[in-house]
Structure 1
Amino acid sequence: MDPDRGLAATHFLLDTEWNRLVNRWASGIGLTVRDESTHMTLGVTRHPADAEALELHLTTSRRFLVAFMTNGRSLAPGELARGAAAANAWNTEQLTPTLSVWNVRGTRPHLGGVCTLPLSCRMTQGDFDAIASGWVEQAATMFARCREVFSL
């Protein structure tokens, strides 16, 4: 009998188990997790080699698990309007992640995507894995679109 089979069918409450779900998902796909006091950070190396590396920060608000994704590229002063246009275009065409111009961890703005899940939901490890992997794929598409269409 497969010892992980029982875990696959167990529904975890996101509010109390999100750290465990994130760690198992990351471990399953070979990502290193930096567990910090207020959040978890994961570096996602994309393949092929010319694809962007992404950084994923996971934290909670009062009611949500929040996934913030960035490619780490700062916007130059002359790129702010294009960044806002890229965010408007992406958000009009797509539902997730929500793309915004952020000024987090520094003085220069950058593009960031945000996805959320309600902390009150229950899900299996497999469900969480699929959602989290989907966030990474969507973010990769989002940043590729910003690069290709808006030269960002």
Structure 2
Amino acid sequence: MTDKQVPVPDRYTAFYWENAALGRLAVQACEECGHVQFPPDAVCESCQSQSLTAQPVTGRATLYAMTVIRQAFHPAWTDSLPYVIAQVQLDDAPGIRIQTNIVQADPADTAPVPPHPAERKYVSPTRMASGSGKSALRTGSP
């Protein structure tokens, strides 16, 4: 079996992975105009400033779309099949949608259509075997 690849942080994404390893979720915020963005980038998407900082977010989110993954596109994921992934919009970071696993979902019970857009979820980073973090979605409160 092949090991699952883990992200390699760079100078733009290191803050995200450091926070995730501590169980916190953070996005990038511009110190000049206040714009928040994800994924992290070298400059602000709004004003092109390079003055960017990490901004913690609660992880409360609205489920935007989801699907069940039934085919492994890399041999390392074969043992994880099937699993559910989703795109969620963060409540306290308007306009930011992130991709995440839904860890409490039974793929057999998951409808093949998107859920009601107002369904609230909570996104929290979880530790990977390497100690780095990945986002995982769970229902309920923080």
Normalising by the smaller structure, the TM-score range is under 0.3
Name whichever structure is richer in strand by fraction: 2
Name whichever structure is richer in helix by fraction: 1
TM-score, normalization by structure 1: 0.23
TM-score, normalization by structure 2: 0.24
